Amino acid sequence: MNLSLVIPVYNEESSLPILLESIARALEPIRKQWEVIFVNDGSTDSSLEVLRMLAKQDPKRVRVVAFRRNFGQTSAISAGIDHAQGEIIVLLDADLQNDPEDIPRLLAKLDEGYDLVSGWRKDRKDSRLTRTLPSNMANWLISWVTGVHLHDFGCTLKAYHRETLAGFRLYGEMHRFIPVFAHSVGARITEMPVNHRPRKFGRANYGLDRTVKVILDLFTVKFLLEYSHKPIRLFGGAGVFLMVTGALDLAYLLFRRTFFGVPVFTSPLLLIGVMLAIMGFQSILMGLIAELLARTYHESQQKPTYTVRETINIKRRR
């Protein structure tokens, strides 16, 4: 299998037949074997029945994974990837706002030597106040924090080689951070404008509350990428800063007492200095515990702290 399309589905009964027909039409000219994996994320309408019908009509290409309840888009994408057989993975939404006609263009871009091609909804057909503006702010924040500069992290339409994300698991709202994880292992990433169409059926399943979740997940991503191998640098650095600040505070109190006779025990700075010193010491201890946990995490899974793009004249150990 050359190509797997992963599509999370939540209450999209009217869109699914049209979507599958559009995919078949768009992929007809390319010479690749392909499959479509629909992941029904606990839909409350008749989406699952429609998917069963589509799978019966085209059993060679249509696969269906059905959740017991709604677990969220990231979990649906993760399940689709786990069940995909293709060397190339393409993600897209089921609401018809992503255009399947863009898929051959994404694949052609991959053939230029990129590991991941991310879609950019340059002319987005969504409410500016509730969807586009918060998304633009989140995109700027993610770019600034991670150093991966893309215009549209939230666009589901992406194409990438499977090995690009080998070893990563997606949680929370982290499907939008796929380019960030890929960049962390040295993947070649690019972005290209894609067609974005107005929603035809139903309504959007996500609102402003999703922006808050993305920001919280961003803290996790930053920690995983920067400090998961050496957490002592984060906790220890903060601990040293707090201890030095506390020591300077206490030294100032001692200086005032020695040269100006100002009482030490009546000043609130004494309590602040002692608390800063204790917090700094505790932070360093947390860093040491995190170091032990990081080593347990990597060694228990035999998970290396590096990634290899290719080898030359190296035989794999059996």
Helix (H/G/I), strand (E/B), else coil: 6? strand
What pLDDT was estimated at residue 34? 93
What pLDDT was estimated at residue 317? 47
- Taking CA atoms, 94 is separated from 17, 39, 185, 244, in Å, by 10, 10, 29, 54
What pLDDT was estimated at residue 199? 79
Asked if 139 and 179 touch (Cβ cutoff 8 Å), the reply is: no
Close Cβ partners of 137 (under 8 Å, ≥ 6 residues apart) = 211
What pLDDT was estimated at residue 210? 66
Report how far residue 75's alpha carbon sits from residue 67's, in angstroms, rounded to the nearest whole number. Answer: 10
**Would you write out the chain's pLDDT as a tens digit for each of its 318 residues?**
589 999 999 999 999 999 999 999 999 988 889 999 999 998 999 999 999 999 999 999 999 999 988 888 888 898 888 888 999 999 999 999 999 999 999 999 999 999 999 999 988 877 766 677 778 888 898 899 888 999 998 899 999 998 887 767 777 678 888 999 898 888 999 999 999 888 777 666 655 566 677 777 888 888 878 887 788 888 999 999 999 999 999 999 999 999 988 888 888 999 999 999 999 999 999 989 988 887 787 667 666 655 555 544 355 545
Dump strand ranges (E) for 10-68. Answer: 34-40, 62-66
- Taking CA atoms, 99 is separated from 32, 107, 112, 162, in Å, by 19, 14, 21, 22
What pLDDT was estimated at residue 230? 84
Neighbours of 109 (CB within 10 A): 17
Helix (H/G/I), strand (E/B), else coil: 318? coil
**Number of helices and strands in the chain (H, E):** 9, 7
Close Cβ partners of 295 (under 8 Å, ≥ 6 residues apart) = none
The reported pTM is 0.77
